[in-house]
């Protein structure tokens, strides 16, 4: 099927049914004072600038502050209107969006197509964390205040990577910032259904409904949302037990699962995973880590000396599964043909023997030039499971003559070591790290992490560089069909599997919990409602005592109050595919 033949039209139909009372608020009095509190364990919000953050919590908090052109549906099968009320494809490579005409930023200024154009311009800057998302955009043309054309190289990727992800910011604010690459983005001024009303650095943010939002039925069912930051998931889970918060993200520690399961005040559930942990080797040609890791023979030996299945089962207490590629199994481009390297210490030792790494009297191998196979593994201390996995892996590596020192630390300290910036030049300064990535189900931008030169943005912790990979990766942005994207994605995964800049370890099940005082959550969303990627969570959180429609699996909320006004939103998404 040729995705260039896609014609998409989205029409929002609002049907208002007047019941008994002539004028009643759609939010009950009981709800008007309700507060939903979420605790996040780990890295706290680093910036409100959506173009430079790599922190998941920062992205999550701003998902409903900033509008997007479109939003992804609950099952990731299609796209639904946001700032764009409708759209169509013209001539096979132009997407024309018709914006809503009643959108305003949180400071009251109307949103126009010029704001959209400017936001995509910011996203495309070399310093932007969103640059890879907009590579498919070839040109943008503003037709009028509420109509805008995008000429793109790949329509399916444009919707997945750009139209549904790029935040729309006010041009009249950002164009007056001297250096957007260092701008904190505070206070964030968006046009989404939530606005920031309070922020205490390192402690919490407070979000409240933006009552002038262009789709009033999207507005949250609670009066306030408070997101509190905790140093780790254990602290956050303890806060849930103490009643200080109502839900925990991004997951609960496995050691505390049974405590929460046995408490009737909490609902514990498992959602499809989007997070995976990995071992990254510093293979940066200009890096200052142990140079022996640049030898593929060493990395292959370490792969054979890593029992991925055992590490997942023991470190994550059975709530993870081994993977062999850089995408979680929930991603639609995941290559199922790749399996973890077979655990074989004899073969690992043989590879090192044949490569000339002789075992010394101290039990540690060394290269022919005398460089010992002695490495330091950096691990985020906030992930005790990852620290445990590192210890297990170090024991196996020791058996083949590889010495390992494990250093657990906060992620800020890790980042400073890994992306060692000296006079504006970044050189990877570590040996090995164990860390995690969160990858959305329809995202291919994860492959950008392994493109040459990505160490400059603080993305690549391997410094991997391969011209064959780069050339193939660029082709993905010109793919004209989902099948073509899939074929390229599978081949990219195979290259990484063989070159081993990473040893993928474990895909983590999203085990989360919330107080039974709230309902309305989508447990089937990959990553779960509190994993930092679900834009519906804050909007759907509903006090359990309130009579309301279950919003968990719905793309649009149906909010009703007896003897009041019920707003029913019917969204019709028409997708026609033609063969060429």
Phi, psi of 162 (to 5 degrees): -115, -60
Half-sphere exposure for 344 (CA within 13 Å, toward CB):
11
Find the angle CA(44)-CA(434)-CA(165) to the nearest 5 degrees. 50
- Report the topology of domain 2-268+528-578: D-Maltodextrin-Binding Protein; domain 2 (3.40.190)
- Provide CB contacts within 8 A for 239, sequence distance 6+: 39, 228, 230, 245, 248
According to the 3-state scheme, what is the secondary structure of 424-489? CEEEECCCEEEEEEECCCCCCHHHHHHCCCHHHHCCCCCCCCCHHHHHHHHHHHHCCCHHHHHHHH
Strands 374-380 and 432-438 come out as parallel
- Provide CB contacts within 8 A for 305, sequence distance 6+: 343, 345, 348, 396, 397, 399, 400, 402
Distances from the Cα of 475 to the Cα of 120, 153, 468, 472, 491, angstroms: 21, 10, 11, 5, 12
Predicted local confidence at residue 197, as pLDDT: 98
Strand partners for 126: none
- How far is 432 from 449, CA to CA, in rounded Å? 16
326, 504 Cβ separation under 8 angstroms: yes
Considering the domain 273-508 in this protein, what is its CATH number?
3.10.105.10
- 25 burial class (0-12, 13-18, 19+ CB within 10 angstroms)? exposed
Predicted local confidence at residue 575, as pLDDT: 26
- How far is 525 from 534, CA to CA, in rounded Å? 7
pLDDT tens, residue order, the chain (580 aa) = 333 333 333 333 332 322 223 232 333 333 457 999 999 998 889 999 999 998 889 999 999 999 999 998 877 778 999 999 999 999 989 999 999 999 999 999 999 999 999 999 999 999 999 998 999 999 999 999 999 999 999 998 899 899 999 999 999 999 999 999 999 999 999 999 999 999 999 999 999 999 999 999 989 999 999 999 999 899 999 999 999 999 999 989 888 888 999 999 999 999 989 999 999 999 999 999 999 999 999 999 999 999 999 999 999 888 899 999 999 999 999 999 999 999 999 999 999 999 999 999 999 999 999 999 999 999 999 888 999 999 999 999 999 999 999 999 998 899 999 999 888 888 999 999 999 998 988 888 899 999 998 887 678 999 999 999 999 999 998 888 889 999 999 999 999 999 999 999 999 989 999 999 999 999 999 899 999 989 999 999 999 975 443 333 344 333 232 222 223 223 222 222 221 1
Phi, psi of 60 (to 5 degrees): -65, -45
Q: Taking the model in full, what pTM does it have?
A: 0.77
574, 13 Cβ separation under 8 angstroms: no
498, 492 Cβ separation under 8 angstroms: no
The full set of domain ranges for the chain reads 2-268+528-578, 273-508
Predicted local confidence at residue 457, as pLDDT: 66
């Amino acid at each position: 099927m040729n995705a260039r033949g896609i014609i998409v039209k989205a029409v929002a139909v609002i049907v208002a049914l007047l019941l008994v009372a002539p004028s009643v608020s759609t939010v009950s009095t009981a709800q008007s004072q309700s507060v939903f509190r979420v605790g996040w364990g780990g890295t706290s919000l680093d910036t409100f600038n959506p173009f430079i953050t790599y922190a998941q919590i920062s992205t999550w908090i701003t998902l409903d502050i900033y509008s997007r052109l479109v939003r992804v549906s609950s099952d990731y099968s299609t796209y639904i209107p946001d700032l764009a009320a409708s759209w169509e494809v013209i001539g096979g490579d132009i997407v024309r969006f018709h914006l809503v005409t009643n959108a305003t930023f949180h400071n009251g200024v109307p949103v126009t197509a010029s704001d959209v154009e400017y936001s995509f311009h910011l996203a495309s800057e070399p310093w932007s964390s969103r640059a890879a998302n907009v590579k498919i955009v070839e040109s943008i043309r503003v037709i009028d205040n509420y109509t805008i054309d995008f000429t793109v190289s790949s329509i399916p990727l444009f919707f997945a990577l750009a139209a549904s992800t790029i935040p729309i910011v006010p041009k009249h604010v950002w164009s007056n910032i001297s250096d957007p690459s260092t701008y904190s983005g505070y206070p964030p001024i968006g046009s989404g259904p939530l606005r920031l009303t309070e922020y205490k650095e390192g402690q919490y943010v407070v979000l409240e409904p933006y009552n002038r939002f262009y789709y009033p039925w999207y507005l949250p069912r609670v009066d306030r949302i408070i997101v509190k930051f905790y140093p780790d998931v254990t602290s956050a889970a303890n806060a849930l037990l103490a009643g200080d918060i109502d839900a925990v993200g991004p997951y609960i520690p496995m050691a505390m699962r049974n405590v929460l399961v046995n408490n009737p005040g909490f609902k514990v559930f498992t959602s499809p995973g989007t997070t995976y942990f990995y071992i990254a080797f510093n293979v940066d040609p200009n890096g200052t880590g142990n140079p022996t890791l640049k030898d593929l023979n060493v990395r292959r030996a370490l792969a054979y000396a890593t029992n991925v299945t055992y590490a997942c089962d023991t470190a994550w207490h059975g709530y993870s599964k081994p993977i062999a590629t850089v995408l979680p199994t929930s991603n639609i481009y995941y290559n199922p043909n790749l399996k973890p390297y077979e655990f074989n210490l004899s073969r690992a030792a043989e590879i090192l023997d044949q490569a000339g790494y002789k075992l010394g009297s101290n039990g540690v191998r060394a290269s022919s030039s005398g460089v010992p196979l002695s490495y330091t593994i950096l691990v985020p201390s906030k992930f005790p499971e990852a620290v445990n996995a590192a210890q297990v892996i170090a024991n196996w590596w020791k058996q083949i003559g590889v010495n390992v020192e494990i250093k657990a630390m906060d992620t800020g300290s890790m980042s400073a070591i890994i992306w060692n910036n000296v006079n504006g030049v970044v050189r990877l300064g570590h040996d090995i790290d164990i860390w995690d990535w969160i990858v959305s189900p329809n995202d291919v931008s994860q492959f950008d992490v392994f493109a040459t030169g990505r160490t400059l943005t603080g993305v690549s912790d391997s410094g991997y560089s391969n011209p064959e990979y780069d050339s193939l990766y660029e082709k993905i942005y010109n793919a004209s069909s989902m099948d073509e994207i899939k074929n390229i994605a599978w081949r990219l995964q195979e290259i990484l599997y063989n070159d081993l800049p990473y040893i993928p370890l474990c895909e983590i099940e999203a085990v989360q919990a919330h107080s039974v005082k709230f309902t309305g959550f989508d447990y089937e969303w990959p990553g779960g409602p509190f994993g930092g990627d679900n834009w519906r969570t804050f909007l759907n959180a509903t006090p359990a005592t309130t009579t309301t429609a279950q919003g968990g699996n719905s793309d649009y909320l149906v909010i009703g109050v007896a003897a009041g006004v019920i707003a029913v939103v019917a969204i019709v998404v028409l997708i026609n595919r033609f063969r060429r």
